[in-house]
Amino acid sequence: MTKEEYMQRLRNALQAYDKEFVHEILDTYEEHFGAGIRSDRTEQEICEELGAVENLVKDIEEMLGDMDIRTHQPDLFTAVQPHQAQYDEIRRIELALVSMDVEISPSSDGKFHAELKSGEELSKYLNETVSYGRYYASEITHNYKNDANGRGLLRMILGNMNNQSQTLILKVPSALDSVKTKTISGDVELNALSCKALNLETVSGDIELQNCKSETSLLKTTSGDINLEDVTGEEAVLQSASGDMNLHGVEIAKECSFSSASGDMDLNEVKTERAKMHSASGDMHLRKVEMTQECNISSSSGDIDAELFSNNISARTTSGDINVCIDTRGKKRYISGKTLSGSMRMESDLYEMPFANETENVIIANVNSVSGTVRIK
How confident is the model over 284-323, as pLDDT tens digits?
Answer: 999 999 998 899 998 888 889 988 888 888 888 888 888 8
Per-residue confidence at 1, pLDDT binned at 50, 70, 90? confident
**Cα Rg, the chain, nearest whole Å:** 23
Look at residue 228 in the predicted model and tell me its pLDDT. Answer: 97
Question: 215-265 pLDDT, tens per residue?
Answer: 999 999 988 899 999 999 999 999 998 889 999 999 999 999 999 888 899
Mean pLDDT of 81-93: 71
Rounded to whole angstroms, how far apart are CA atoms 373 and 377? 13
Question: Please, which residues have CB within 8 angstroms of residue 341's CB and are 6 or more apart in sequence?
Answer: 370, 371
More confident residue, 133 or 337: 133
pLDDT exceeding 90 applies to what percent of the chain? 33
Question: Please, which residues have CB within 8 angstroms of residue 367's CB and are 6 or more apart in sequence?
Answer: 313, 314, 315, 316, 322, 324, 335, 336, 337, 338, 374, 376
In this structure, is the dihedral angle defined by the CA atoms of residues 84, 85, 91 and 94, taken in order, positive or negative? negative
Look at residue 344 in the predicted model and tell me its pLDDT. Answer: 73
Question: 31-66 pLDDT, tens per residue?
Answer: 778 777 876 778 888 787 777 888 777 766 665 554
Mean pLDDT of 340-352: 66
Mean pLDDT of 344-367: 63
Look at residue 68 in the predicted model and tell me its pLDDT. Answer: 41
Question: 327-341 pLDDT, tens per residue?
Answer: 877 777 777 777 777
More confident residue, 277 or 50: 277
Domain extents in the chain: 3-50, 225-377
Mean pLDDT of 64-87: 45
Per-residue confidence at 175, pLDDT binned at 50, 70, 90? confident
CB burial readout 265-300, b (16+ within 10 A) else e:
bbbbebbbbbbbbbbbbbbbbbeebbbeebbbbbbb
Per-residue confidence at 171, pLDDT binned at 50, 70, 90? very high
More confident residue, 64 or 211: 211
Lowest pLDDT segment from 2-6, 15-19, 41-45 = 15-19
Look at residue 157 in the predicted model and tell me its pLDDT. Answer: 45
* β partners of residue 275: 256, 295
Rounded to whole angstroms, how far apart are CA atoms 256 and 236? 5
